[in-house]
Amino acid sequence: MECPHLSSSVCITPDSAKFPNGSPSSWCCSVCRSNKSPWVCLTCSSVHCGRYVNGHAKKHYEDAQVPLANHKKSEKQDKPQHTVCMDCSSYSTYCYRCDDFVVNDTKLGLVQKVREHLQNLENSAFTADRHRKRKLLENSSLNTKLLKVNGSTTGICATGLRNLGNTCFMNAILQSLSNIEQFCCYFKELPAVELRNGKTAGRRTYHTRSQGDNNVSLVEEFRKTLCALWQGSQTAFSPESLFYVVWKIMPNFRGYQQQDAHEFMRYLLDHLHLELQGGVNGVSRSAILQENSTLSASNKCSINGASTVVTAIFGGILQNEVNCLICGTESRKFDPFLDLSLDIPSQFRNKRSKNQENGPVCSLRDCLRSFTDLEELDETELYMCHKCKKKQKSTKKFWIQKLPKVLCLHLKRFHWTAYLRNKVDTYVEFPLRGLDMKCYLLEPENSGPESCLYDLAAVVVHHGSGVGSGHYTAYATHEGRWFHFNDSTVTLTDEDTVVKAKAYILFYVERQARAGSDKL
């Protein structure tokens, strides 16, 4: 947004003597000494932590306003007000009075001068060396970023995602998608798109809530986020630009309240699909998909128009059979899908843990069988029979006509009651490898011996009791090792820990033909 407070708040000039030593992204808060999310005040150059750490940057602004309340209005305007600060990691500028990120500058261009000065400090050889040593010390002390492999010490290249205020639902989905290799590689290989021209050409783009829809690209910000992960150049990345694009094009996710991770995933995939169909600024992305030989035409599934990488990888087809119980008329319909939402059978809903003794453990096979079994529709779902010419009782059954390359299974853990939405906290047993989907196919005889086997790539877990509260984390496998992604923290874990998780969303990748298999 265009901030009107820059002239009264931006008073510092690029002078290294006024800034702390070291690289800006590792500066410590002057109050709590935390080096997470440092922000520098553009009035006095003091450094404080962001609102999602201990909030001292905001408190610095609030404390500066208290003396002003005792002065006349004219005196307020003459005195610097400490309202504008800059993120020392992403160099974006924020105004607390406007409560938004800032895109304009002062007449003398002071904001851009400070930004360039901080970038020079960060990029200098001396501060880069200090920054690497600091991260190495952190990683050694926490023992989470180093792993001994064959007697030698290897660094973990995984990068966490900072929580921007109840954005764990987004972080868990992004980390899961980043570990689906074919999907992630497609976006990382896309050419960068410059959304600005003229004076701002070549500068880094900062998306804010006040920009128009034509100035944002979900594909571009998604690409940037995926490129930032797994590089090992930083312990955590702030996906704020992607988050504000999400605010623009997905109104349901505006604000900082907790959201449903599955709902976000569906909105994200749908909007990526739509934008890839149309391209950005007239530049078509579909040509890149057509040139990608690994996504053959026979594996594409069109949803709402032409095929994209989204439908080529996640797209499958269901056959929905409905039979009238009065006249026996059968109706068949083919529906494309990007994921399958599975009920947890009612007989298992009181079983909360794997080791609980009362009754058998619910398995993923039980959920899949419940989804595909013949079901008699109740009175509220009467079928309009074209032969009887009125609504009649009927049965319904799903078959999978075509399996996707990546099978996304959503376990329906949240159910509405008369007054609130309850969580089904049942443990569901799921395989790490060898999930066999052949028995759920419409024509299993036409599939090869290995084409129906899937191996687990990622799991999203919801911790807590309700959809509007709690916390999301994710497990994912990368180069044969399992990682746990908890916002900005990434730790190595093992298969025993993963299989004990109460899964909410499971991502299974089609197994490539190879000798031997373990079946569910």
Active-site residues, by number, are 168, 471
Strand partners, 399: 319
CB atoms within 10 A of CB 58: 17
Q: How far apart are CA 322 and CA 385, in angstroms?
A: 10
Q: Could you give the CA distance from residue 119 to residue 89 in angstroms, rounded to a whole number?
A: 9
Q: Are 239 and 222 in contact (CB under 8 A)?
A: no
- C-beta separation of 237 from 162 below 8 A: yes
Amino acid (one-letter) located at 245: V
User: What amino acid occupies position 274?
Assistant: L
Kind of pairing between the strands at 100-102 and 93-95:
antiparallel
The CA distance from 375 to 365, in Å, is 17
**CB of 436 within 8 A of CB of 508?**
no
Encoded tokens for 403: 């399996």
Exposed, middle or buried by CB within 10 Å (0-12, 13-18, 19+), for 125? Answer: exposed
Q: How many residues does the chain have?
A: 520
Cα atoms in the 13 Å half-sphere on the side-chain side of 222:
24
Neighbours of 443 (CB within 10 A): 11
Give the residue from 467, 390, 429 showing the smallest Cα distance to 166: 467
Task: Burial-class residue 296 by CB neighbours within 10 Å (0-12, 13-18, 19+).
Answer: exposed
**Which residues partner with 429 through β-bridges?**
363
Gap between the Cα atoms of 402 and 298, Å rounded: 11
Q: Which amino acid is at 500?
A: K
Contact assessment for residue 88 and residue 20, using Cβ atoms and an 8 Å cutoff: no
282: CB partners within 8 A, 6+ apart: none
